[in-house]
Amino acid sequence: MQDNLILRVMAKVLIPVILIYAFYVQFHGDFSPGGGFQAGVIFSTAILLYALVFGMDRAADVMTDKLLIALSAGGLLLYAGTGVVSMLLGGEYLNYSALASNPLTGQHIGIIVIELGVGLTVASTMLLIFFSFARRVVSR
């Protein structure tokens, strides 16, 4: 698909918009529909579109397997770690009210952090699965 001019131009226009939209859904999830899961999936579709139009190798150069594995595990650790931090600060596991002196601020911090963890894990895992599938096609 790399020689199709219309696809290339359209992808170049669309990819930044999709990425911005993913970040909007990620960090605006507590005010509007969306959240970490949706944002992660939208983010990964942008990279997926890039990989489909401009080639797997160029996408894999940016999103290396090492990075994706680290992000996938890192997001989960961030989520689980938030629970541990709230325990250390005197609350129950994943009780974000303990994260700050004001319970509402604590809730806000906690929700933003765990949504970020969800987004990281979902985006990188979706890409990992796609790359693992697509590599088998390319290597045949």
List interacting residues with another protein (CB under 8 A). Answer: 25, 29-35, 37-38, 41-42, 44-45, 48, 52, 65, 69, 72-73, 75-76, 79-80, 83, 93-94, 96, 103-105, 107-108, 110-111, 114-115, 117-118, 121-122, 124-126, 128-130, 132-137, 140
Other residues' Cβ atoms within 10 Å of the Cβ of residue 47? 23
User: Least distance from C-beta 69 to another protein, angstroms?
Assistant: 8
- 99 secondary structure, DSSP code: G
- 32 secondary structure, DSSP code: S
User: 37 or 54, CB closer to another protein?
Assistant: 37
- 70 secondary structure, DSSP code: H
User: 12 or 28, CB closer to another protein?
Assistant: 28
To which residue do tokens 């590599």 refer? 135
Q: How far apart are CA 98 and CA 90, in angstroms?
A: 6
